[in-house]
Each structure stands twice: as structure tokens, then as C-alpha cells.
Amino acid sequence: MIQVSVHFHLYLGGGADDSATSIAVDASGNAYVTGSTSSTDFPTSSPPQSANRGKSDIFVAKLNVAGNALVYSTYLGGSEDDFANGVGVDAAGSAYITGETASGDFPTRNPIQATNAGSEDSFVTKLDPTGSALVYSTFLGGSGNDFGTSIALDPAGNAYVAGATRSTNFPVVSPLQTSNRGNDDAFVAKLNAAGSALVYSTFWAAESSILPTLSLWMRREMPMRQAVPRPKIFPPRPEHLIVPAVLGVAGSTMSSLTLG
């Protein structure tokens, strides 16, 4: 029998609907939680955005190791519906969030894409380690609906985002797949450490509606790497990352990309 030890358990929310969708933990044991809230009284601490600006806004909260205090907590969103689906944290303690936004006034900073190109775009936002300021925040999408569903970081601070797109003009850079092959295709994109440019961005076809998840390992940190299929799409180099993307609905197969 597996023994489970609960270190802390708490409520986090306000007077309306609140939903947590993703969590990450840093090397010290601090927890980073993101989700969506309709509350106007969601608890905040040192926030870059102190109020709910729309029908549903994102929240990002950092809890201390003991789970008994907020290090920071903030709203993130515009005047329409905004939803967070994934959070990651780098070695410095900066949080990265991805999801979807219907807001034309979603907060941006140093954006790769400054405007919402469709009814709903995905987004990528980086908060500084104190949670009090945006390092960068950008839309990422085309004229259809686009959803960021998962995000991960490598040791250099590059951000890898996976999601789903209905856009035929989703921004691509050095793509493995240049066009959308169906109603919904997956996408995988890499942003440089400054968040100032896409290193690559590609469509990735699947058989059905797509909710990809993303995990990263450096090869030297993955002792079971020989058990993972790794088609060598790019010329092999030791610094390449293994990016498994789970594509499709329940029962789908595991696909992997070797992306540099």
C-alpha cells in the first residue's frame, strides 16, 4: 500500500467561481499555482494587477514551502475571458504561464505579437521572481482559436509551449509542419530566454481534438532515454531537448520531437 503524506491543504479563492488548473514547484519547495477566477475579491499579495478586469481573469499565486502564506498572488487578464492552462518555473524562480485569452487588452510587455489576431489567442507570460512585474507577455496565435495548454523551461530559460490551434495562419518559424492539416492541429513553439523571438514554431497534426502536454528533459538527465522514441528531426547535438507531446484525446499515442 502506498503511504501518502499531506504536508498542507488549503482553500484559495474569493466569493465567486475559482478554478486551479496547473501547479509547479521550484527547487526550494515553493508552489506556483495558476487558474481562473470570476471573483473580484480573490486574495492578492504584491500584485502587478490588483483587480479582476473582465468576466474571468487568470490568477497566479506562489505559496511558501510550508503552504501557510502567499509569497505573491495576482490577477492577470483583460476585459474578456482569460484562462490559464499551464505554469512552469525556472531556476531563478520566475513563473511562466500559458493559456487562452479572448481579451484584446490582455496585458503585454515586450511582446513578440502585440495584438490578439483572432477571437481567442494563446499567450505566454513571464513573471519576475518577486511576482510583482511582468518580464514579458505576448499573444501567440492566428485568426482562429488558439489555446496554450502546457509550458516547460530548459536550464537556459527558453520557454517551450504546446497547445492547439484552429488557425491556418498561426505564426511558424523553421516549422516541421508548415500548415494546419485539419480543424484542430497541435502546435509546439520555443521562445528564446528573453521572450523576444520565436526560436521555432510548428504545427503538429493529430487525428482528433488536441490537448497536448509537454515535458522536457536534458538528455544527460534522462536515464531512461533509450526507451523513449526520438525521431531525429534536426541534426543531433548533445544540447538537444526531448519534447514528448501527448496529442489527441484519451487513448491517443505518445509522439516525440527532438527539437534544438
Q: Which is it for strands 134-140 and 121-127: parallel, antiparallel or unpaired?
A: antiparallel
Confidence of residue 1 (pLDDT cuts 50, 70, 90): low
> Hey, where are the domains in the chain?
18-215
Q: For residue range 209-248, list pLDDT tens digits in order.
A: 444 555 543 333 333 333 333 333 333 333 333 333 333 3
Looking at per-residue pLDDT, the higher value among 161 and 243 belongs to 161
From the list 189, 131, 135, the residue with the least C-alpha distance to 159 is 189
In this structure, the chain runs to a length of 260
Residue 183: per-residue pLDDT:
79
- Give the position of cell 497541435: 186
Q: How many CB atoms lie within 10 A of CB 227?
A: 7
DSSP annotation string for 28-87: T--EEEEEEE--SS---BS-SS-S--SSSEEEEEEE-TTSSSEEEEEEE--SS-EEEEEE
Write down the residue that cell numbers 502546435 correspond to.
Answer: 187
Say yes or no to pLDDT of 207 above 90. Answer: no
> Which pLDDT belongs to residue 214?
59
List the Cα angle 215/157/164 in 5-degree steps. Answer: 45
Best CATH choice for the domain 18-215 from the list 3.40.190.10, 1.10.3720.10, 3.30.70.1560, 2.40.10.500: 2.40.10.500
CA dihedral sign, ordered 169, 171, 173, 176: negative
Whether 141 and 114 have beta carbons less than 8 Å apart is answered as: no
Q: Give the containing element (helix H, strand E) for 203.
A: strand 198-204
Q: CA 239, CA 201: separation in Å to the nearest integer?
A: 18
How far is residue 207's CA from residue 190's CA, in Å, rounded to a whole number?
23
Q: Residues 6 or more apart from 217 whose CB is under 8 A from it?
A: 225, 241, 242
Stated pTM of the model: 0.82
